[in-house]
Amino acid sequence: AVFGCAGERDASKRSPMGRIANKYCSTIILTEEDPRREGNQAIFSDLRFHMNNPACTVWEIESRREAIRKAISIAQSGDTLLFLGKGHEKTIERMDAKISWDEVAEVQAALRLQEEKRL
């Protein structure tokens, strides 16, 4: 699962989300999802608070683009990849700016890049 939580929003939901993902996923990649001025590291810390499943590998990759590429590069045949939180949204809010974002295009580009590496 590739996901994060929005900054400057209800932080009480983060730890339960992290716990649930940690329970059911073999690998989690924590990444940005509108961190705003709060910053990714504070959000990641909240998400990790109740993660205690040693069978689950947890990565922290602040760049969502790089997190998607990492997930695709480590996926094995039969794995299910979950890209959560930004699917339909067209921006990522960082600090005081919004950057353009297209999750589907990013996943497609990462898949093409991975295929090129295999050739």
pTM, rounded to two decimals: 0.95
The CATH number of the domain holding residue 111 is 3.90.190.20
Task: Tell me what the pLDDT averaged over the chain comes to.
Answer: 96
pLDDT higher than threshold 90 for residue 70: yes
Query: In 3D, which of 45, 47, 43 has the Cα closest to residue 94?
Result: 43
Query: What residues contact residue 75 under an 8 Å CB cut-off, 6+ apart?
Result: 81
Number of domains the chain contains: 1
The Cα-based distances of 44 to 11, 16, 105, 119 in angstroms read 11, 13, 25, 35
- The pLDDT tens digits for 81-107 are 999 999 999 999 999 899 999 999 999
